Amino acid sequence: MALVKQMDTPPLFCDGTEYAAGLVRRLLGQMIGDTVGLFGTADFAVSLSGSAVTVAPGRGAIPSGATESGVYLVESTEATALTLDPADSTRDRTDRLVAYAVPPVTGADTGKWFMEIRKGTPAATPVPPETPNAYVVWDFAVPAASKGVNPSGFDKRFVGGQQMIAGPTITSTERPARGRPGQIWSDGTTGQLWLWNGSAWIGATDPTLPRGWVGEVKRTTEDTFTSPVLLERLTLSLSASRRYKVTFSAQHHAAGFGPPNGSADIRLAAGTSVSLSSPVIKTTGILKNNATRQTFEMVTTFTVPTSGTYSLGLTANGFDNPALTFSGGNGRILMVEDIGAL
């Protein structure tokens, strides 16, 4: 059983035998804004089977010690196997997996870094142990042995100020305390972008403003019809907190003149199966004409009651002879745009 294991490579620039490790570490740390984080979503990913914990290889920037500055750059080249401590007989417990560095004590010593599962205190309402100067990788809920339930895990790699470091852009669910000028932080929950101006994070995008294009379908096939027909179909993920605009544009022609003796409908259905019987959100009459390729356009706005998957469809009816024709190509499109928050 292993609760702690020394990793297979030393923390980069931790040794100070041939160079000023602290200085080099601080300078390199500035390249990522002294950000504590990982360089990809797969770094240090954890799998749990019973009490067996497997940590994927990866690279990261982990905290320095209380008396140090900057961050330690570390790499694990192989999967790491650890084991949770046996459960308490009657009380639940929360353990915490951390990565931390131990700098050299003497000039002849070498720096090391470790993955370690630190055991929490069994309690009626358990909390994870305090782990200062360590990178929090995962938390484990260890139920009391009397419950007969296996432990479960919770990903903590990108919370509590820990980031996914992607060049000048970082992303997580919590905005970091500080950044570096020009650095962009992306809110992993709302998608909003923030820019560090040298002293504070300022919003680079307003979540209430339009977000533009959501999806479209272009039809290149010519359609001729005298009775109801379902033509364009578009399936999208839509939010109940947003307002959308849908546009259908095409060129049409027919064999003769008459009153508005054709019609087109834009229909909206929850799920992926819009049909001729789905609710209509916009209808427009079509005047049959024998002019060549007259422009026809429909525009409307809509919202959805709950967030999820929806399908839009363009249906049309020629109302018998003469038949109506929508040309293929030539700018024919069914398009949806996000036009702002509700």
What does the pLDDT look like over 6-50, one tens digit per residue?
A: 887 667 556 655 555 666 666 566 666 678 888 888 999 999 999
Instruction: Select, from the ranges 157-161, 234-238, 316-320, the one with the highest average predicted confidence (pLDDT).
Output: 234-238
CB burial readout 191-213, b (16+ within 10 A) else e? eebbbbeeeebeeeeeeeeeeee
Who contacts 240 (Cβ-Cβ below 8 Å, separation ≥6)? 303, 304, 305, 306, 307
User: 40-54, 70-84, 249-263 — which is least confidently predicted?
Assistant: 249-263
CA distance 275 to 61: 53
Residues 331 and 219 in one domain: yes
- Domain boundary at 142, 167, 192, which? 167
- Residue 69 belongs to some domain of the structure: yes
* The pLDDT of residue 57 is above 80: yes
Residue 143 lies in a domain: yes
**Residue 195 lies inside a defined structural domain of this protein:** no
| In a shared domain, residues 130 and 24 | yes
Q: Say whether both 98 and 222 belong to one domain.
A: no
Q: How far apart are CA 169 and CA 181, in angstroms?
A: 11
236 with 312: CB under 8 angstroms?
yes
Integer CA distances (angstroms), 54 to 42, 138, 228, 253, 278, in order: 13, 11, 58, 65, 49
Position 228 scores a pLDDT of 93
Q: Are residues 42 and 161 in the same domain?
A: yes
146 and 70, same domain (yes or no): yes
Strand partners, 314: 266
- Looking up tokens 């100067």 gives 133
pLDDT per residue as tens digits for the range 102-159: 988 777 788 899 999 999 999 999 999 999 999 999 999 999 999 999 999 999 998 8
Looking at residue 294, what is its pLDDT?
82
Give the domain CATH number at 311. Answer: 2.60.120.1340
Note whether 150 and 292 are same-domain residues: no
Which pLDDT score, from 0 to 100, does residue 32 have? 66
Residue 201 lies in a domain: no
- Name the more confident of 9 and 211: 211
Assess whether 30 and 126 both reside in one domain.
Answer: yes
Q: Determine, yes or no, domain membership for 173.
A: no
Mean pLDDT, the chain, whole residue set: 86
Q: How many domains does the chain have?
A: 2
- Tell whether 42 and 163 lie within a shared domain: yes
Q: DSSP E strands: which ranges in 17-162?
A: 37-38, 46-49, 52-55, 58-63, 71-76, 80-83, 93-102, 112-118, 135-142, 152-155
In a domain, 172, yes or no: no
Are 13 and 71 found together in one domain? yes
Whether residues 77 and 224 share a domain: the answer is no
Residues in the chain: 342
Domain-located, residue 28: yes
4 neighbors 117 (Cβ within 8 angstroms):
yes
Predicted TM-score (pTM) of the model is 0.52
Task: Give residue 285's domain range.
Answer: 212-341
* Shared domain check, 160 and 13: yes
Tokens matching residue 201: 């994070």
Among 188-202, 223-237, 274-288, the least confident range: 188-202
Flag whether 91 is in a domain. Answer: yes
Q: How many CA atoms lie within 13 A of 61 on its CB side?
A: 24
In angstroms, the CA 132 to CA 5 distance is 19
Residues 117 and 247 in one domain: no
Do the beta carbons of residue 10 and residue 110 sit within 8 Å? yes
Q: Containing H/E element for 185?
A: strand 184-187
The CA-based angle 209-302-329, given to 5 degrees, is 95
